[in-house]
Chain A
């Protein structure tokens, strides 16, 4: 597959603080990659470097195989010559222009003939469902509509890359879900490389072909949403992509792809992962992968016994806090057990992953 964006050894510093620390990755044409991480991890700065709004200290950036930045060659193409389309967190809709003129702007500055501007803008406004709003002033639009104008403006000139800087963070939850699907569809249709910055794991999981989890200016883990969610490298990644449980276990046998050990309550465990040698380990299991049942006294592998501390009704399921020895596990289950009741909690070996400890306690 052709490469849409290539980044090699990107370094960005503000003063003596390193914001991006030797980041490299490729994005294929047609691929949507999410940069996911807590605030301050360097994800937005990376995006702005691709757009040309920040000048990195080191590294090389290519768009469709052409260099747009190279520190060694002292090359820095201005943002307006990178043929990118960018959606800003604040939308940046120009208040002095109508909806039509906001979307037409990228075409106007490229001296596109009027007839073509009309055709392309209307087609794009149609795509985002705003054709009836063309004459409106941008200030008369709701947040969701402004967001769609911003998307239309970013795609109207058929850019080589699409850049999204937390585009949904100012929308309410319901609108966010609808717009997410919309962005995915548009990006598929345009078939361009897209970078999507977010700190919302649900957004990243549902949108991305690939997720790059960033932390302290580095790519901490890269992979498909399924890989990142199902097999996080360590506690940091596990936490960033969703609610999870951590268990500290004692491993006594290391196999090929699985290890065996003992849970805090003494139950025997078999979990997925590789370790060099037996010893203490930290594992994680997602709350939705835990099976909860009233305690019927059964014993066996991956079967823990505990007490319901708290139960919250969430509509589709209950959210349980279950005390197992000193550890409290969160579990999502439709099964109904009263607070204070004894339960067994079990899971499949493939759903429980050994994490790298990285010096964690």
Chain B
């Protein structure tokens, strides 16, 4: 097409018709994002001023907000904060120590350690909690072991306690701290440390006076992130807290809704209060992340000086092995054991082995449906979530039209909203819609909850791609859509692949957001496992958990092995 034909065609809109199309895509993206994220929050806010739930004869009231100050709720708040602060401190300490061992010392089993941490990162929290109930409850494996072998009959382990919740959460959240801290630790400018060595500092002085101060912001960021993950944690307190009568805000909210008469208004107020705590922490954490980047990270690929651990090396290696054992290996063995026996007995020599539990998965229509539901929600929902995330990332990092900052803020909001709270918001706002009671509600809810996973993964890659790569396609004669398809999409492929994988796993194992909005027709695996477990059917619950873990781990292996380019 010659310039004159183009000129005639392009005359009407100010920046050409394809710019108008881009604008339209942005507006649609914005509208969908706003709908997904703002609607449940508005519903919660509205609900927190109502005396009853949707569909009831309710009036306006301030009682729900006053209810937050009642001693029972305040106690729950204090317990939640205590659990979360302790969890955050231990997780960051362990995660940071293991990241430091891996990237700054002559620790010998780095690859094995990273693989083990990766495995426990993807090990679902509710399955870990279940395994630790099997191991650590009164009548569980550990107490039985003490009784049989040492004759200690006092049952010293009680997982149904504050300490139990913290124990499981630390095991579960430590990988997050590891992955938050390994970037800054591994990309720190080596010359900063080398300059300290050249100035005559010994390795411990360098670690204390140079490395640690440079890691202050990453550490702070890790502490805040672990704190938020702990506050919003639902599976662990639900599985070990509720039986032990230890409630956190997340389980309190769940109980307010699930036990009649439901106190929806107070639940909404609790949810918003929780979101205020997590949202504020995430806000600070993101500011901290921005602060730290400048001085420590450089693009130079110098080999870092690895600290020699000397006689401490063996001890460090044993402690890391211990983490792998406690967070993944022993729980898996416990689940395999429980799934393979007829009735639970702590002593494997007294057990009656059977395949019955696995057979029962396939013979029960409810379980099969829940497996199919989970695959639909995870497999299909992740496509939707990734598409929306990609549109948002491309808009906010590349197109940057008017209003892109608002979109950026909207899309990162779910970072600060606990899963159970988003679930409650969807329960309130979707009860009116015809899709209520279908899998769509779950899918929409998950898309909203994990939107930042998609936007961050894809966005990080978009930023990496030089703008001129796309401009070169335009000046070569490719339209905006064609250049996006032929240039941007192939170049984004690695990020899209890992984004899809992350979303799939997240949707696959999500329990907090589903706990309030599932119906008997839309039950998913996590919920099925939980209800089998609650009904004391540990065998089937364990068998389902093993199936879930096998799917998760094989996906993880497939994705890390898969050739990333095509």
Contacts and interface: CB of A to CB of B under 8 A. Distances in A.
Given A88-B471, A109-B477, A83 B3 contact: yes
A77 B475 contact: no
A236 interface: no
B481 to A, nearest CB: 10
Contact of A157 (B14, B469, B477): B477
B475 A53 contact: yes
A217 to B, nearest CB: 22
Contacts of A52: 474-475
Contact of B468 (A89, A153, A157): A89
Contacts of B474: 52-53, 78-80
Nearest to B475: A86
A85 interface: yes
Interface stretch (B5-13, B50-58, B149-157): B5-13
Given A96-B490, A109-B482, A77 B10 contact: yes
A18 interface: no
A89 B477 CA distance: 19
Nearest to A104: B476
Interface stretch (B15-23, B83-91, B100-108, B413-421): B15-23
A182 to B, nearest CB: 19
A95 interface: yes
Contacts of A75: 7, 10-11
B14 A96 contact: no
Given A76-B14, A160-B3, A90 B478 contact: no
A291 B165 CA distance: 89
A8 to B, nearest CB: 16
Most buried by A among B468, B477, B480: B477
Contacts of A77: 3, 6-7, 10, 16
A64 B1 CA distance: 14
B462 to A, nearest CB: 15
A76 B475 contact: no
A80 B10 contact: no
Interface string B67-104: 00000000000000000000000000000000000000
A212 interface: no
Nearest to A62: B3
B469 A92 contact: yes
Nearest to B470: A92
Contacts of B479: 78, 80, 109
B211 to A, nearest CB: 34
Contacts of A211: none
A105 B3 contact: no
B15 A76 contact: yes
Contacts of A80: 473-480, 483
Given A106-B477, A110-B477, A153 B4 contact: no
Contacts of B491: 94-96
A88 B3 contact: no
A52 B16 CA distance: 11
Interface SS of B by simple majority? helix
Contacts of B4: 66
B350 interface: no
A88 B477 contact: no
Contacts of A95: 491
A68 interface: yes
B487 interface: yes
Contacts of B402: none
B260 interface: no
Contacts of B16: 76-78
B363 interface: no
A293 B240 CA distance: 97
Contacts of A96: 490-491, 493, 565
A89 B472 CA distance: 11
B475 A81 contact: no
B2 interface: yes
B10 A81 contact: yes
Contacts of B486: 105, 109
Interface in B1-48: 1-4, 6-7, 10-16, 18-19
Contacts of A74: 11-14
A84 interface: yes
B2 A83 contact: yes
B468 A63 contact: no
A100 to B, nearest CB: 14
Contacts of B14: 74, 76
Contact of A63 (B3, B487, B493): B3
8 contacts: A52-B475, A53-B475, A75-B7, A88-B472, A92-B471, A96-B491, A105-B473, A105-B478
Given A75-B7, A78-B16, A94-B472, 14 more contacts: A53-B471, A73-B11, A75-B11, A77-B6, A78-B479, A81-B3, A82-B6, A85-B475, A85-B476, A86-B475, A88-B468, A92-B468, A153-B472, A153-B476
Interface of B: 1-4, 6-7, 10-16, 18-19, 466, 468-469, 471-480, 482-483, 486-487, 490-491, 493, 565
